[in-house]
Chains A and B, each alone.
Chain A
Amino acid sequence: MNHLIIAPIVLPAMLAPFIIMVIRHHLDLQRIFSVAATLILLGIAFALMGQSLGGEIQTYELGDWPAPFGIVLVLDRLSALMVLLTSVLALPIVLYAIGSGWDKRGRHFHALFHFQIMGVIGAFLTGDAFNLFVFFEVLLIASYGLMTHAGGTRRLRAGVQYVVYNLLGSTLFLFALGTLYAVTGTLNMADLAARVAEMPPEDTALLRVGAVLLLLVFAVKAALLPLHFWLPLSYANAPLPVAALFAIMTKVGAYSILRMYTLVFGPEVAATQGLVEDWLLPAAMLTMAAGAIGILGAREIGRLVAFAAIASMGTLLIAVGLFTQAGTTAAIYYMVHSTFATALMFLVADMVMERRGPDITPHSPMPQSGLIASLFFVGAIALAGMPPLSGFIGKLLVLQASWPAPERVAIWAVVLIGSFVTIVGLARAGSLIFWKSHAVDPQTDPDTDEPTEIDTAPEPYPGLTFTAAFALLAGLIALTIFAGPASEFASATADQLFNPDRYIEAVLKGAEK
């Protein structure tokens, strides 16, 4: 067995308690350990990626229990990619949190951060549906702490809503898992897939109920309309570097949809045929439309980016909802892009908020306005999907993949008009914040002493915050330059997803011995 597979879960799981129990009073030590662990994690993720490039599916049996009886971790191309994406995202965010001083505004930032990383990576690696629930809980519990980090009335109240909504989601998840277990008698994903495929279509009513319940749970996570309304409020009120980390959390929902509805309830499974496809695609289109309209109407920069995140989830889920190999290829490419772009925009939004408050209105100019404006400009280009950055390539792949689908007119209209509205919304916000501000005389600015709960003390290490933002930007540029290899890899990943037999074989090999 390859013990490297469990390393990205064990490392944060050991580090976070260490931070809490041993070095909780030493912020400098916490920072050093946190960054070092993130770097090691990145190394492990690259190694895992290298191992899965060839297309081999590796499993890790916890406690050496053979597959359907014990819990397995499975490393295939998609899992490796998602683990790598999480680690690559974690490094700039932890640097940004240190650079902007966010990590000392409340306690236990670094410990919670690593628990969150552990939950996200665990969810990507696990091959067991109940274990997926447990890792969802790990990442949610950590996110409750991060969401209310640094406190403040408004943040706490938004936090209550966020927790209530996610507890409901967890309850629903348990109902779904219970239903699936009652029908199939297993919760191992590969075993589920094997049993669902053999099930006679006439007594699958409960199975379909379970499949739809599960889709609802993942839709809550992925902020799919009409279950998206927790997102703008939570993300806009969370500390924005944390919101940048949460960019990967919505992707956990998208990943789970991709995994469960290609492996277990795949397009060729008779029992659930037409069940998910018919709902996911229209809902995804509505999500994109709602996100674009929200961008246009947002009056605070946090909400602006939160709605942009919803719009990009809409695009992503349109690609997922096609349930074709080309669609999934586009989805995987766009998922990487959207994670970086959303995180970058949240970091830029935080820079703006730290210097001049959340409102999208003309104020007197802020320090380092030019640099932030250029980051906002590039980030907006990426997020809206304009050339030359990877968002354009991603959207092009989505459009291309949707060409054979019967709904192509609707999809093209939604994606193109949605992108246009996004551009307008972001341009409006950008010009109000960065251009019109120069027309405001600082002496007559009515809002200079506006009461915000933001600590406007200068950042301790401004160099580090810009390094973090530019690192994310570099990720986007790399994704653009290496779009060829990246989309080839995405295509190979989609190929692996649409041939679930190999996955099932790799996981259940122990059972036949």
Chain B
Amino acid sequence: MELLLATAVGVLTASGIYLIMRKRTFPVILGLSQLTYAVNVFLFATGRLALHQPPILNKYAEVTYADPLPQALVLTAIVISFGMTAVIVMLALSAYLSSRDDRIDLTEEPGDDA
């Protein structure tokens, strides 16, 4: 389980970092979403891995429980990253539509400006 999770975080981060260094906006956005998936999985792991356990304390019996805080953090992170992906897609789309070019860097070619 640990190996699986660590591999998932590692592979997602690596491919995310590769993709954000690309020149066009589409792969960069894909890379950003992969990075956010990676960080969400990583946040789950910060409360230690616990399978099939409720995130609540039981005051009548000594039972193990999953740490609820990372779950709340992941929820916040998912909401934010989901919204941000929508924003960047819209922004990249409008930048593409107004300049007919989806390169991420600003080139100083004549006619590119204005």
Contact = CB atoms under 8 A, between A and B. Distances in A.
A482 B70 CA distance: 47
A160 B91 contact: yes
Given A130-B73, A179-B46, A182-B45, A144 B91 contact: yes
A164 B70 CA distance: 25
Interface string A162-178: 01100110110011011
Nearest to B100: A153
B15 interface: no
A141 B83 contact: yes
A167 B91 contact: no
B26 to A, nearest CB: 11
A178 B35 contact: no
A157 B43 contact: no
B20 A168 contact: yes
A233 interface: yes
A52 to B, nearest CB: 29
B39 A164 contact: no
Interface string B15-49: 00000100001001100100110110011011100
A157 B46 contact: no
A451 interface: yes
Interface residues of B, number: 36
B80 interface: yes
Given A175-B42, A452-B114, A167 B95 contact: no
B83 to A, nearest CB: 7
A464 interface: no
A156 B46 contact: no
A156 B91 contact: yes
A291 B94 CA distance: 32
B99 interface: yes
B2 interface: no
A151 B99 CA distance: 12
Contacts of B80: 134, 137, 170
A160 B46 contact: no
B112 to A, nearest CB: 8
A395 B10 CA distance: 45
A163 B87 contact: yes
Nearest to B35: A171
A207 to B, nearest CB: 13
B99 A157 contact: yes
B69 A181 contact: yes
A159 B47 CA distance: 36
A191 B73 CA distance: 18
B39 A153 contact: no
A273 interface: no
A160 B46 CA distance: 31
Contacts of B46: 178-179, 181-182
B104 A174 contact: no
B90 to A, nearest CB: 10
Interface string A137-164: 1000100100010011110111111011
Nearest to A164: B28
A154 B98 CA distance: 9
Considering the complex of A and B, which 4 residue pairs feature the smallest CB-CB distances, nearest first? Answer: A182-B46, A156-B95, A178-B46, A174-B39
Interface of B: 20, 25, 28-29, 32, 35-36, 38-39, 42-43, 45-47, 69-70, 73, 76-77, 80-81, 83-84, 87-88, 91-92, 94-95, 98-99, 104-106, 113-114
Interface of A: 130, 134, 137, 141, 144, 148, 151-154, 156-161, 163-164, 167-168, 170-171, 174-175, 177-179, 181-182, 187, 233, 451-453
Given A167-B81, A179-B46, 15 more contacts: A134-B76, A137-B80, A144-B91, A151-B98, A153-B113, A156-B91, A160-B92, A160-B104, A163-B87, A163-B88, A168-B35, A171-B35, A175-B39, A178-B46, A453-B113
11 contacts: A130-B73, A137-B84, A153-B99, A156-B95, A156-B98, A163-B84, A164-B20, A167-B36, A168-B35, A174-B42, A177-B73
